[in-house]
Chain A
Amino acid sequence: MVRYILKRVGYMLVTFYVVITLTFLSMKLLPGTPFKTANRLTPQQLNQLRHYYGLDQPIPVQYVHYLWNFIHGDLGGSFQYGMQPVTQFLLQRFPVSLELGVEAMIAGTILGILLGIVAGIYRARFLDWGTMTFSVIGISIPSFIFAGILQYAFAVNVQLFPVAGWSGPMSHVLPATSLAIGVLALVARFMRTEMVEVLNQDYIVTAQAKGLTTSAVVFRHAIRNALIPIITVIGPLTAAVVTGSLVVENIFAIPGIGSQFVDSIVTNDYPMIMGTTEVYAGMFIITIFIVDILYGVIDPRIRVSGGQTS
């Protein structure tokens, strides 16, 4: 197990290193100069500026500098906010995004599991049909559409919740819901499949044959076994929530890194874009790592075969 974890940590570090290098290279490939007033400067002044920021050095040297700064948590200064450190912005805004994401994940997963179980038990009946229809719609429609519908219906038309902002629990409801619908739909669908599969297993027949009540069979035998594979969807779910949060934060004007990211794209604030991209990549990679480890703990076969999930 220790060997397996070490191997996974190794993979994780390599992937992250690749991401950092790629962001550096794409920064170097960007056209134009980072200086806003470049065309009004004399070549001498430009050279001075380039020297000041270390841009006159060869790219490998710059690369080492970049890595060195990165390790020390220095992601450069934001063009948009007068060269204030990017790290500071990210540290300030990340908790907000994390809170929103976790709220959506927890609400979506719990409701999704419940719906999936109900649909699995009442297979091929109206409840099942309804849940699955809802699930297809939830998976298909992008979260920015849900966000718009919810905002229009419950903040503009019926003024139950604030239209935008991030203050107090009431303002969390709409954005978290619009992110949670997708999660809910995915989990419900997955959970239903697992329930149907588990309920067809021989040990369920055995449990029924020895005279257990239906509720005992469902709660003691079926649900427990059906829950395990849910771990595999955590990875895709995180991806979906992060992607969704980019737009949902923007629609509801939530001060998280998602809306920061969209702002920095609009204003060409490259250090900020790079910093945010690295945070996202880091988050994904850590999530995948945790999922892999959890799965290795639960299913020993994966450890042996070298950790190829999917």
Chain B
Amino acid sequence: MMMPNTEITKDMFAPADIDHSVSEKIGRRSVSVWKDALRRFVQNKGALISMILLTIIIVAALVSPHFSKYGIDDQDLNRVNLPPKITALSWIPLFSGKEGGVDVYKQNGIKQDFWFGTDSLGRDLWTRTWSGTQISLFIALIAALVDLFIGVVYGGISGYFGTTVDNILQRIVEVIMGIPNLVWIILLILVMKPGLFAITVAILATNWVTMSRIVRGEMMKLKNQEFVLASRTLGASNGRIIFRHLIPNSLGMIIVNTMFSVPNAIFFEAFLSFIGLGIRQPQASLGSLINTGYQQLQIHPYQTLYPGLIISLLLICFNIMGDGLRDAFDPKLRR
């Protein structure tokens, strides 16, 4: 029997070069924290829908008042308490311009449409509701800026320097936190005249405290890590370490917390306007619109409906988006 020539000889083998760079190679594209967060955020349907809704509300608030030829304070007693009417959609009962089966528009001989109706002074609620939304959004912007500029800097300094500086800054925070927000805001608004300016100052004074505490905690956690030591060894100044290393590293927390303090501020403005400490006539805010609407709730519920709907949507969307961002940045915190 002939054996096939299968003898294995040494020269059939060659040493494989061990290439360390190959074994260290990352096969997949690298995913940064931000990309990872974005991926998780996009997967969260609720958060994505909220973001789209918010965008729609923001665009609508900025653009809509221009669709109506009436200003926020154009009164006309001939067109008092008209229900909403959109001719193109008049088959929907909500937009038919009828109230109790009577076409109020025909009754009063009014040709134009009022998309959200008019109030008891004949002012166009479309214009008023959307300019009220603008105020809510302005408050949201202020709250976010206060958080980012005062809260982050205060907490950053307090947490980074520690010891005496921290002690002094934290005693101040304790006094501010010991007194409830409501009391601070009421005192501030009583001293100033109620209005948008007073509310802005009240938010300036109170809104940053939570943020400063969170940033302080982050700073204390991060400042003893190696990369900070390395940076300091290379001669980086304190300011550079805080603003280039520590704050970017806690940016996730900062963004998430901002997203939660914004709806809070929006709520407070609406609440203050509702009890008469906020935006005053003839200016309109969602809170004050709801308050005036309530006086007519039993007869003309539509006057409360739209401002109520918009503020509810705003707050729900901000909260869901905040939840989504928190889950995206730190899945461990998922609740």
Q: Residues on A close to B: CB < 8 A?
A: 11, 15, 18-19, 22-23, 26, 29-30, 136-137, 139-142, 144-145, 148, 151-152, 156, 163, 189, 192-193, 196, 239, 242-243, 246-247, 250-251, 261-262, 265-266, 270, 273, 277, 280-281, 284-285, 288, 310
Contacts and interface: CB of A to CB of B under 8 A. Distances in A.
A236 to B, nearest CB: 10
Contact of A148 (B187, B297, B318, B320): B297
B312 A145 contact: yes
Contact of B277 (A15, A140, A156, A265): A265
B181 A239 contact: yes
A262 B277 CA distance: 9
A246 B183 contact: no
Contacts of B290: 144-145, 148
Contact of B187 (A137, A239, A251, A277): A277
Contacts of B270: 142
29 contacts: A15-B178, A15-B179, A19-B179, A22-B187, A26-B187, A26-B191, A136-B323, A140-B312, A140-B315, A141-B312, A142-B270, A144-B271, A145-B308, A145-B312, A148-B294, A148-B297, A151-B297, A152-B298, A189-B335, A193-B335, A239-B182, A242-B180, A243-B271, A261-B275, A265-B276, A265-B277, A273-B190, A285-B178, A288-B178
- B182, B270, B275, B290 interface centre (most CB from chain A within 10 Å): B275
A201 to B, nearest CB: 15
Contacts of B190: 26, 30, 270, 273
B263 interface: yes
Interface in B86-124: none
B311 interface: yes
A281 B311 contact: no
The binding surface of chain A is classed by DSSP as helix
Contacts of A136: 316, 319-320, 323
B183 A277 contact: yes
B248 interface: no
B186 interface: yes
Contacts of A18: 175, 178-179
Contacts of A141: 312, 315-316
Given A189-B335, A310-B213, A137 B316 contact: yes
A146 B335 CA distance: 25
A247 B178 contact: no
B183 A19 contact: yes
B306 interface: no
B275 A250 contact: yes
Given A148-B304, A262-B276, A285-B179, 12 more contacts: A23-B187, A136-B320, A140-B315, A144-B290, A145-B308, A148-B294, A192-B335, A239-B181, A247-B275, A265-B277, A280-B180, A280-B183
A239 B271 contact: no
B275 A140 contact: no
Interface in B219-251: none
A262 to B, nearest CB: 5
Contact of A140 (B182, B183, B213, B316): B316
A247 B312 contact: no
B309 to A, nearest CB: 9
B274 interface: yes
Contacts of B187: 22-23, 26, 277
Contacts of B294: 148, 251
Nearest first, the 10 closest Cβ-Cβ pairs linking A and B are A15-B178, A140-B315, A140-B316, A284-B180, A193-B335, A140-B319, A141-B312, A26-B191, A281-B183, A262-B275
A137 B301 CA distance: 21
Interface in B316-330: 316, 318-320, 323
A137 B187 CA distance: 31
A142 B277 contact: no
A142 B271 contact: yes
Given A136-B319, A145-B308, A152-B301, A284 B274 contact: no
A11 B316 contact: no
A247 B274 CA distance: 8
- B178, B308, B319 interface centre (most CB from chain A within 10 Å): B178
B267 interface: yes
Nearest to A151: B297
B68 to A, nearest CB: 25
A278 to B, nearest CB: 9
B83 to A, nearest CB: 16
A7 to B, nearest CB: 13
Contacts of B276: 262, 265-266
A288 B294 CA distance: 34
Contacts of B183: 19, 277, 280-281, 284
B168 to A, nearest CB: 16
Nearest to B213: A310
